């Protein structure tokens, strides 16, 4: 099969830990032909969605992990599968890409995750669909509403709706002398909506990333444990990743979300769980495949390609 992946620029990918690279390597091992597409190259040409795609040879060397072969202009529908794996920010250009990809689906392209589902599932706001699974949560931009929430819960986390990797996440207590300026900064003076959540102290044991593939969780999470003096577990913020078996509560949360999200065309989802609470549903480019495989021997990339092949055969 021919599998194309819409990626960030190849020289910027860290092959030693990148889940997209792990996916493509596994696909190539199985004899599939793999291609890379840059989002910049998506275009509607005379009503047909096309892109320049570069065929790749893949290697196990993490310093020289790919070689570019020939490139050509393709209709996206010419590929057996297209994986949308570009990192946020989920800005207007990302939304535009989902519109183009949705037209490609109408032309027969098989795109994972489904572009409409990508557009409809804010990685922060979509948790509101599952109120029984989340900590007390507020989405607002008015300073008085945000301050009232902080006053009520006393110890909170506030964050933008379009961030990733722990960027611009603040822990704010009711007696924090900087809380007004934090709210002003995150909301841009009241023009941007943000999220506030009651602080979950179990973050000390890790912010667990659980991968759900075609509705089923893999048996391990990656608990991202904050470094000393931090409340953010994100690996990009210096957190330490420790693989661990799913708890009964982890499985309960995954069972509630998995079938619903899979039915909507979300083949791969990465949910974040702190303690007993769901905090995010990541759909754009969920990661942590490599860390789990290295620590447990469970090949997450192989499980993903199994699911992809099954979807394509159906």
Residues annotated catalytic, as ranges: 124, 159, 209, 224, 232, 272, 280, 282
CA distance 156 to 104: 42
Name the strand (E) or helix (H) holding 311: helix 300-313
> In 3-state terms, what secondary structure has residue 5?
strand
User: Could you count the other beta carbons within 10 Å of the beta carbon of residue 150?
Assistant: 22
Rounded-to-10 torsion of CA 238, 184, 130, 203: 30
Q: Are 195 and 183 in contact (CB under 8 A)?
A: no
Q: List, as one string, the DSSP characters of 209-265.
A: EEEEETTEEEEEEEEEEPPTT-S---GGGT-EEEEEEPPHHHHHHHHHHHHHHHHTT
């Amino acid at each position: 099969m021919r599998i194309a992946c819409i990626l960030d620029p190849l020289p910027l990918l860290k092959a030693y830990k990148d889940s997209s690279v792990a996916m493509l390597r596994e696909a190539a091992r199985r004899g599939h032909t793999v291609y890379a597409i840059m989002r910049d190259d998506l275009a509607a040409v005379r009503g047909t969605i096309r892109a320049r795609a570069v065929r790749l040879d893949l290697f196990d060397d993490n310093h020289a992990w790919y070689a570019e072969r020939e490139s050509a202009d393709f209709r996206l529908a010419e590929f057996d599968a297209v994986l949308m794996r570009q990192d946020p920010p989920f800005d207007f250009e990302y939304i535009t890409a989902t519109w183009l990809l949705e037209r490609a689906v109408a032309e027969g392209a098989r795109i994972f995750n489904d572009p409409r589902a990508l557009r409809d599932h804010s990685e922060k706001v979509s948790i509101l669909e599952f109120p029984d699974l989340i900590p007390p949560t507020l989405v607002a931009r008015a300073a008085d509403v945000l301050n009232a929430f902080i006053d009520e819960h006393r110890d909170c986390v506030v964050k933008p709706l379009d961030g990733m990797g722990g960027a611009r996440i603040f822990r704010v207590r009711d007696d924090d002398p900087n809380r007004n300026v934090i709210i002003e900064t995150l909301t841009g003076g009241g023009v941007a909506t943000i999220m506030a959540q009651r602080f979950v102290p179990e973050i000390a044991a890790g912010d667990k990333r659980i991968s759900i593939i075609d509705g089923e969780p893999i048996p391990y999470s990656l608990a991202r444990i904050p470094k000393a003096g931090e409340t953010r577990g994100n690996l990009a913020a210096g957190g330490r990743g420790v693989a661990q078996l799913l708890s009964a509560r982890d499985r309960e949360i995954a069972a509630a979300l998995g079938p619903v999200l899979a039915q909507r065309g979300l083949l791969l989802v990465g949910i974040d769980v702190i303690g007993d609470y769901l905090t995010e549903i990541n759909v754009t480019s969920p990661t942590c495949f490599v860390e789990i495989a290295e620590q447990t021997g469970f090949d997450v990339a192989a499980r993903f390609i199994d699911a992809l092949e099954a979807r394509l055969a159906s």
